[in-house]
Structure 1
Amino acid sequence: MGKIIIQNREYSFEQIKNQQWSEPDLYFHQALTFCHLWLTDVQDFELSTSGSTGEPKTITVFRQQMEKSAAGTRAFFEIERGSNLLCCLNVWMIAGKMMLVRGLEWDATIYLVQPKENPLLDIPDFISFDFVAMVPMQVTACLNETSTLDKVKNIKTLIIGGAPSSPSLLQKITDFKLNAYQTYGMTETVSHIALAKITQEALTYTCLPEVKVGTDGEGKLWIESPTAREKRLYTNDIVKILNDSQFEWIGRSDFTINSGGIKLQPEILEPLMASTVEKIYGLCNFFLIGKEDEKLGEKMVLVLEQPLKNESQAQDLLNELKTVMNRYHIPREILIATSFMKTASGKINRPATLKKAR
């Protein structure tokens, strides 16, 4: 029988099933309450979608979907029962809940910590993990902190989701030889349905067992998965299908910018200009987005997370981009937002950020 460890307190799954715990902190209390419901065979759960491209919505997810997701991940990585897991994601969202479900289904030891930028800071050096899920921001923080670098390098299997990893993070992961995978999934598929090993090569996503993929007439991905309620789930993601179980992700169709008849895909262009942005502004968050334009219909603008706008610096960046980018791929305007708006799951809310950018 597995257990959950919170700081120096341990609760066996049997104790959690019988509600034998005392956790005044609301976050830990709600996490253990979810585990109690799972262990007492509750069959359906209400979850909130991330709201990355629209308003968040509440959906009902059935126990069988979550069980199949956990089983698919275990089969993909051949994870042994009784492994050590770290749950450092928000347990109110699907990613955090699925880490708890995996641990419960795998009879694992689950180390439960508050979701924060560097979740390994308070983990003792002698503890190592077999399986961990993080968002890109957390992996970056762990790699940049001397005291946690070895800890993250010692993780047997690390999966990264919630948002695409930046080119600089992907490079660090390969430099440090982490056994890390970028995930593809959504709340409607109950966490990931495909994983891509992070290497020097382009990310190739391989589906979990029993998952099939294809595209519609516009090149948008459809998914057939035992973890989804729909027989065939249609997405807004543009992909390149390699075979019935592998694909390359290109970007979201709802992020596509139609500028004077030229279609521009931000997720393709952002990595290409990342090193140039860093050269002028240093490491900072940025994204490309379409802004209404009377002549072009939409114009592509670059939004940077910066405290102040410096016109000279912005012009320097545009001049540098002109030397490395196709002229159609250069932003028509550079905007500054002091802080990026985020969705409930921590993703950048591009439309909301654009509204406050100047």
Structure 2
Amino acid sequence: MVSLQVKISSPSTDVKNYINLRTDDWLIGYNSLEFNKIYRCRFRELTEFINAQGVYPKVILAEPEPIAFLATFIAAVVAKCPVFLCNPNWVKAEWKQVFKIVQPDIIFGSLAESYPSYIQTNSVISTPGASIMIPTGGSSGNLRFVIHTWETLTASVQGFQEYFNIKQVNSFCTLPLYHVSGLMQFMRSFTTGGKLAIFPFKAVERGEFPNINPSEFFISLVPTQLQRLLNCSKTTRWLSQFQTVLLGGAPAWLELLQQARIHQIRLAPTYGMTETASQIATLKPDDFLTGNNSYGQVLPHAKIKVYDEDERELGVNKLGIIAIKANSLALGYYGLYNPEFPLKTLKSDDLGYLDERGYLTIVGRNSYKIITGGENVYPAEVEAAIRSTGLVGDVAVIGLADNHWGQVVTAVYVPHSPDVSISNLQIALHEKLSKFKQPKYWVAVESLPRNAQGKLNFKQLEKIAEKFIISS
């Protein structure tokens, strides 16, 4: 049994007050009374454990049903238990990582059928009290848990409210609740007195819509979801009715933004990450519709500065590394957290700049930068050029090691049709990219290794490309 050797503190706002205040039917598609029933049951289970064992158990939350997931999440927060949000559909290899990292005391969800509900452990790991651990795989695919608290999550909500000048936030959620992009939609609605509609994306894609007024709702999508909805006139018309369509999770390509603009979709591209409890910069829909392709301005709860590689702060329109301070910033990473030195500034891996109006533009990842023959190549620029040819359905550009050039530009792509050839692509790029930026290797695949949020697994991508080159 793990005894958490930290001071347990309550959230600044008593979460139970939200439970008591939410007597309305705020969960669209689900029974709000059922939410309260599950909450009370799970809270009782947790408090009985605490009273019997004298410790705050580490809780794995892997509930597949949204109502049970959210009610259990709130119960764990109110009971001041460290809770680890998990994907119920992770496979054995991923669960092996989770158990090694977490060493849980209690498991809620279908996973409990395969593993003991109580796992005895001997290690002592310090975490902040009532902490909320949100998973992130990054680009490597290796799982980590980002440490948040009720305070950091509600700071993000407050920044969102102030930025959009709105009191109640109604959210339409098609994204996973264990991911920060889904969880924050719940947090915005739950804590502001708004409504939350949870609906499977596949149903939406089929044209099955709940009985709501979209003009009263924010919907959050990743670029691949937006692309699929824009492929159908019925879903496009429905999407155009929303108050705001938040777009994040992965970079959107220019053609997709232009397509959304043509259909008058009130798009709001966002910049943020798990560590910042979702967005810290957002382009407002009115700016988007006038042709702005940036990530907009920084939300009031955050600050962004741009530095060069020697950590000197840069001025406006100067490309550099993005550094973030925010009230919503995570405390650190589970297993690496030092309570004496919590994370105060996040130096990201993103390259970008702020213009004279404070609008943020991101050009790509610093670590993804390809140096070929002494020239810098940014994958995002090459990917945008390839997409603009209209010959690919999806593409990712990486750098592979090369004895002569250092690295070579490599494109892994999904052709739009079987008759798309490499020569077609090379001819189409001739006037779009300098020669050193054009891919040396082209690897055609049926699909790219992306997760539910549209993020690429670069380890898998490199393996695919290297295997192709070796066999060719």
Q: TM-score, normalised by structure 1?
A: 0.87
Paired with 2:212 and 2:35, the residues of 1 have a C-alpha distance of 23
> How far apart, in 2, do the equivalents of 1:336 and 1:131 lie?
36
Question: Partners in 2 of 1:117 and 1:250 — Cα distance?
Answer: 34
- Structure 1's unaligned 5+ residue stretches are none
1:224-235 to 2 correspondences below 5 Å: 224-228=325-329, 229=331, 230-235=343-348
Map Cα deviations across residues 29-83 of structure 1 (whole Å, 9 max, x no partner). 22332244456676321111132256231122111000100111111112232x5
Aligned ranges for residues 164-243 of structure 1 at < 5 Å?
164-197=251-284, 198-199=288-289, 200-218=291-309, 219-228=320-329, 229=331, 230-242=343-355
> CA shift at 1:27, angstroms?
2.9
Matched, 1:293 2:406: no
2:156 matches 1:69? yes
Alignment RMSD (CA, Å): 2.7
Conserved? CA contact 2:136–2:144, under 8 Å: yes
The alignment partner of 1:26 has SS state of coil
Moved more, 323-332 or 291-300: 323-332
Q: Distance in 1 between matches of 2:258 and 2:460?
A: 30
- Partner of 2:95 in structure 1? none
Structure 1 residue 32 corresponds to structure 2 residue 71: yes
CA contact (8 A) 1:130 1:156 kept: yes
Shift of 1:324: 3.0
- Aligned residue for 2:208, secondary structure, equals coil
- Aligned counterparts, 1:1-358, within 5 A: 1=22, 2-5=24-27, 7=29, 9-11=31-33, 14-15=36-37, 17-19=39-41, 26-28=64-66, 29-38=68-77, 43-53=130-140, 55-81=142-168, 83-116=169-202, 118=204, 121-124=207-210, 127-128=213-214, 129-197=216-284, 198-199=288-289, 200-218=291-309, 219-228=320-329, 229=331, 230-242=343-355, 245-276=358-389, 278=390, 281=391, 283-306=392-415, 313-343=421-451, 345-357=453-465, 358=468
Shift of 1:124: 3.4
- Distance change in 2, residues 1:55/1:244 (3 Å): farther
Q: 2:139 touches 2:459 (CA, 8 Å); kept in 1?
A: no
Aligned partners of 2:386 and 2:425 also within 8 Å: no
State whether residues 270 and 295 of structure 2, in contact with CA within 8 Å, keep that contact through their aligned partners in structure 1: no
The structure number with the bigger radius of gyration is 2
Any idea what SS the aligned residue of 1:290 has? strand
Runs of 4+ residues deviating >6 angstroms: 39-42, 307-310
1:93 aligned partner, one-letter code: H
Cα distance in 2, alignment partners of residues 149 and 36 from structure 1 = 38
Report how far residue 19 of structure 1 moved: 4.9
For residues 109-140 of structure 1, give each alpha carbon's deviation from its aligned partner in whole angstroms, at most 9, with x where no partner exists: 11112354846833236542421111112222
Q: Which runs of 5+ in 2 are unaligned?
A: 1-21, 43-62, 82-129, 310-319, 332-342
Distance 1:159 1:109, change over 3 A: same
Identity of aligned residues (%): 23
CA distance in 1, matches of 2:64, 2:142: 26
Considering fraction of residues, name the structure with more strand: 1
> For the Cα contact (< 8 Å) 2:141–2:459, is it kept in 1?
no
Q: How far, CA to CA, are the matches of 1:231 and 1:59 in structure 2?
A: 14
Instruction: Give the AA of the match of 1:26.
Output: P
Deviates more, 1:292-301 or 1:107-116: 107-116
Once the 2 structures are TM-superposed, how far is the Cα of residue 273 of structure 1 from its aligned partner?
3.0
TM-score, reference length from structure 2: 0.67
User: Residue 26 of structure 2 contacts residue 196 of structure 2 at CA under 8 Å; is this kept in 1?
Assistant: yes
C-alpha deviation, 1:241, in angstroms: 2.5
- What is the total number of aligned residue pairs between the two structures? 348
